[in-house]
Amino acid sequence: ASVTALVLAAGLSSRFMGKIKGLTVVGAHGETLLEISIRQLKALGVTDLCVITSDATRAQIEGLLGSSFLGLPVCYTTQTRPAWRAKPLGTVHAIAAAAGLVQHPFVVVNADTIYGKDAIAPIVNYLIANKDDSAACTAYLLKNCLPENGSKVNRAVMHRDADGWLTSIEEQYNISTTDVGSTYTGDELTSLNIFGFRPAHLALAQARLDTWVAALQAKNAANPPAPGAKEPEYILADFVNELRVEGALKLRVLGPTTDSPLEITHPEDAALMAAALASSGQL
């Protein structure tokens, strides 16, 4: 059975002086974060890669991975920023760039995150075992996926029914560890954009993106945003929830895993990730 990893690698990090976070060296033998992530994906059943790049990241990513990496075939596509935007349109825009390229069930992963085997394996196994058009997502516990330094992040909180099917998913903004015990218990089921989808979902993503863009442009024409205003993005959590509400998508919430994902946000996180990888045996 074939399962593709759809790797989101289009972004440059302002906190990393415009560098690609996934190319940060964190391995004991000089491996980058992306190399270690792909090694883990391969070990857990992924059979090929489709990498979403941007014009700014394509050359470096392709230079590292080539057309085959660790024996996995690699294809590339580009998330292009519209001329009327300062930034791309969000994670739905990113996966829609792969419409027509991905032929197998696929798992979405960020290029700058190491999710851990207990997060990846359940999705890969679900996609192989279930031949229907349902999707899947491994849940983390909110308390395990907040930066220890107290910096604020966005996280999608999920709810499911007794059979494990998603009943809601909603992005929560500017959460930090200080919110646990007050606004949140810390045991909320949380998505980190690690979704298992089918190829048909990419066409849906493109169609929904087109609708979202048309609505946004109409809104901007009626009420032009202020210069420098934060640009809205169409994110996977909103896409999934819209389809769920309409009955167009069933998504099984797996887990939760008690692992903590390894992410890089600030340059100083690289040393912490290297130490965590060495101690966890994920290298």
Query: Alpha-carbon distance 136 to 108, whole Å?
Result: 11
Return the minimum-mean-pLDDT range out of 67-81, 96-110, 123-137, 258-272. Answer: 258-272
Tell me: the pLDDT tens digits for 150-204? 888 999 999 999 999 999 999 999 999 999 999 999 999 999 999 999 999 999 9
β-bridge partners, 48: 4
pLDDT band for position 67 (50/70/90)? very high
**Residue 134 CB coordination number (10 Å):** 17
pLDDT digits (tens, 9 = 90+) for 228-279: 899 999 999 999 999 999 999 999 999 999 989 988 777 777 888 888 888 8
CA 55 – CA 148 distance, rounded (Å): 33
Identify the burial level of 237 via C-beta atoms within 10 angstroms of its C-beta, where 0-12 means exposed, 13-18 middle and 19 or more buried.
buried
The pLDDT, as a whole number, for residue 82 is 94
Per-residue model confidence (pLDDT) at position 64: 94
Residue 281 has a pLDDT of 65
Nearest to 237 by CA among 85, 122, 53, 95: 95
The structure tokens listed for 72 are 């996995």
Confidence band of 211 (pLDDT split at 50, 70, 90): very high
Residue 283 has pLDDT above 60, yes or no: no
The average confidence (pLDDT) of the chain is 93
Q: Residue 74 pairs with which residues in a beta bridge?
A: 49
Residue 15 pLDDT greater than 70, yes or no: no
Res. 23 pLDDT band, cuts 50 70 90:
confident
Q: Is the pLDDT of residue 207 over 70?
A: yes
Instruction: Say if residue 40's pLDDT is above 70.
Output: yes
pLDDT at 20: 85
Query: Which pLDDT value is given to residue 17?
Result: 63
pLDDT tens profile 99-124: 999 999 999 999 989 998 999 999 99
